[in-house]
Chain A
Amino acid sequence: MPDETGPGPSQRLSDDTLLEMYRLMLLSRRLDERAWALHRQGRVQFHVSAMGHEAAQVGAAFAIKRGVDYVVPYYRDLAMAIALGCSALDFMLGLFARRDDPWSAGRQMPCHFSDRGRHIISGSSTVATQVPQAAGLAFAIHYRQRAGLVDPQDATQPRLALTSLGEGSTNQGEWHEGMNWAGVQGLPMVCLVENNRYAISVPQTEQMAIPSVATRAASYGAQGESVDGNDVLAVHAAMHRAAQRAYRGEGPSLVEAHTYRLTPHTSDDDDRSYRSREEVAAAGEVEPLVRYRQTLLERGLLTPSRVDELEARTRAQVDEAQRAAEAAPEPAPEEADSPVLAPLPEGLT
């Protein structure tokens, strides 16, 4: 809905960027689908899906300085991770829990992203714990800028901390305490709430007495905004506004992206007990990948043959990543013993 928010920054995205966003959403989707298939074949132990959330995640990632700004994602952020530069192979190595899994070397469940070089912080499976940490990262940015250790305009330095989570997680004390801290200190933090209407099985109406999480922002002196989370450009526009506020030192923002989880919560979940098939099917009608493809076709940036070509390329990419990951070595079992404690720096004993 970029029209509702006037001529926004998304209009300034180049054609290449718009196509890149599509390519990344597509890659995430096809990796996700393959993971489900591999799980159902008994070839992997677990998968947690981002299907349906790709627009929210890719739109958010493209609104910040990718690979430079700090990102503290949650386990549903596969498309975010892909958009931030993680590869198909990275995902597959984690899915197969191989030794060279770059996120946790087989220690965590799949989709627990971590990439120090890309400033992606490792997360746990406990929800909302990352929010005060994101405030801490934003505090560190602020601290360095105020101490004169970095130039506030220097785009090679992280200038905001983005964290994301589901709407159910905003009921946690850690979310409130982290948001409050960021608000009271005016920290450059952006919180993306991927509102898919369910906290596993419990609908939002039983989670909170308000229709929009965005209204919670006011309690913390943060800017709150709700957008259509299935529209990648709308999310990008809202996130862009939030990021710019952070860059300008105007404090934290909350962007609530309304979306829908197209799959059960995880490969261990069965959503038929709490969601009707009609509801799920209806969500498929407005799902973000199809919508964005349609937008690009209408704008002439994609053609049917180009769509097929991208599908084929993506399929090959997924196949190759899977093949390489399956062939990759397992960790030696005794590698489980470490690394518990970081070694002392050189010169300290």
Chain B
Amino acid sequence: MAEMTLIEAIRTALDEALAQDERVFVTGEDIGRRGGVFRATQGLYEKYGARRVMDSPLTEMGIIGVGIGAALADLRPVCEIQFADFIHPAFNQIVGEAARMYYRSAGGWQVPLVIRVPYGAVPGGGLYHCQSVEALFAHIPGLKIVVPSTPRDARRLLHGAILDPNPVLFLETKYGYRQIRGEVPEQDAPLLPGPARIAREGGDLSLFAWGLMAFYAEIAAERAAQEDGLDVEVVDLRTLHPLDQESVLGSLRKTGKALVVHEDTRTMGFGAEIAALLVDEAFEYLDGPVKRLTAPDVPAAPFNRGMFDYFLPGPDDIFAAIRELAAY
């Protein structure tokens, strides 16, 4: 058992995957000698060489397109998009190609591709280093969307994503890279995309979150317990697509109240999907409106720190939203 940051757990998983399977290689911009702009691949170039830890030309659509080709040829590419903000040039390769390959070939071709993407708001990041893109991709059939919020899950899920025969978008909260710490067992089984995690059990209210917001949600839930005696159930979704509907519905059926927190902007955010699911499938169990706490509908977190803090929901905001919904 060792304590790790989120980024250390990811690096550990990459190291282990490279050691275990000769088909695994890592590519992306500055991931070789530089070790990645966030140091996710630090030391791996020295250990595995340029063939397996390969700096790419500066082309996001190339990174994904080449990754697709390599995956079709039964390698196990782990592609890094330096910032989620830069993923848009690769949108067609991900959405039009990787996600549709299996269906359009009637099961003939699989794309076992992992796309690692640092995403979300970070102070000083500005409009082009802060975007949250989960909702853009969660809409797409054929893609899996994984968002770990603990170091242990990051390591297990990255292994699971590499084992999965489908394209997996692996979203990493870069603000959480060094903020989130946790115990990681020496030996741990891979976790395939799918199941949500009940981060905290409670009967008063269900709080659905992922990534950094799941981390903040646990802080806010603890405060709600201390100050208001509220038992908030925190459900860390971990995989947005395919969604663990049973865990989401089960929690709501228990508590009757649902709060979804995401740092992505509001309109057509993934919270809307959760709300729709709850209303569709658990209407008779709702004891209050399904509430969303989200970033405002602006392009991304602004550079100015005050505006940044206003943009990004924090533990205090989550606590206030818990308190308000609990009183409903």
Contact = CB atoms under 8 A, between A and B. Distances in A.
B32 to A, nearest CB: 13
Contact of A129 (B71, B97, B110, B163): B97
Interface of A: 70, 72, 101, 103-105, 107-108, 112, 114-116, 121-122, 124, 126, 129, 131-141, 143, 146-147, 149, 158, 161, 173-174, 177-178, 180-181, 184, 338-345, 348-349
A141 B73 contact: yes
A184 B92 CA distance: 23
A115 B96 contact: no
Given A129-B93, A341-B242, A147 B51 contact: yes
A153 B55 CA distance: 27
Contact of A136 (B73, B107, B108, B192): B73
B58 to A, nearest CB: 9
A124 B108 contact: no
B35 to A, nearest CB: 21
Contacts of B59: 132, 177, 180-181
A143 B49 CA distance: 12
Contact of B61 (A161, A173, A338, A345): A173
A140 B71 CA distance: 8
A107 B72 CA distance: 20
Interface string B97-111: 100111111111110
Nearest to A133: B69
B65 interface: yes
Given A133-B66, A137-B73, A180-B57, 5 more contacts: A107-B103, A114-B108, A140-B74, A180-B59, A340-B103
Nearest to B68: A133
B70 interface: yes
B97 to A, nearest CB: 5
Contacts of A104: 104-106
A96 B149 CA distance: 48
B109 A134 contact: no
Given A129-B96, A139-B70, A143-B75, A180 B102 contact: no
Contacts of B317: none
Contact of A124 (B64, B104, B144, B242): B104
Given A340-B142, A344-B164, A345-B165, A146 B51 contact: yes
Given A103-B105, A115-B108, A140 B100 contact: no
Interface of B: 22, 25, 51, 56-57, 59, 61-62, 64-75, 77, 89, 92-93, 96-97, 100-110, 141-142, 144, 163-166, 192, 242
18 contacts: A70-B72, A70-B73, A104-B106, A112-B104, A114-B109, A115-B108, A116-B108, A122-B109, A136-B68, A136-B77, A140-B73, A147-B22, A173-B61, A177-B62, A339-B106, A339-B107, A341-B102, A341-B242
A150 to B, nearest CB: 11
A116 B142 CA distance: 19
A114 B105 contact: yes
A342 B106 contact: no
B108 A178 contact: no
Nearest to B66: A136
A58 to B, nearest CB: 23
Given A136-B65, A340-B141, A348 B192 contact: yes
A34 to B, nearest CB: 24
B74 to A, nearest CB: 7
A72 B65 CA distance: 13
A81 B72 CA distance: 19
A221 to B, nearest CB: 12
B71 A122 contact: no
Contacts of A137: 69-70, 72-73
Contacts of A141: 73
A101 B106 CA distance: 9
B92 A132 contact: no
Contacts of A133: 65-66, 68-69, 72, 97
Contact of B96 (A101, A124, A184): A124
B162 to A, nearest CB: 11
B61 to A, nearest CB: 6
Nearest to B102: A342
Contacts of B101: 122
Given A133-B66, A339-B107, A177 B73 contact: no
A134 B62 CA distance: 11
A132 B62 contact: yes
A149 B24 CA distance: 13
Contact of A138 (B51, B61, B69, B107): B69
B212 to A, nearest CB: 27
Contacts of B142: 340-341
Contact of A140 (B22, B69, B108, B110): B69
A343 B163 CA distance: 11
A134 B102 contact: no
A59 B107 CA distance: 30
Instruction: Determine which residue in B25, B69, B72, B108 has the highest number of CB atoms from chain A within 10 A of its CB, and name it.
Output: B69
A112 B108 CA distance: 13
A129 B103 contact: no
A181 B59 CA distance: 9
Contact of B106 (A105, A143, A181): A105
A143 B70 contact: yes
Contacts of A134: 69
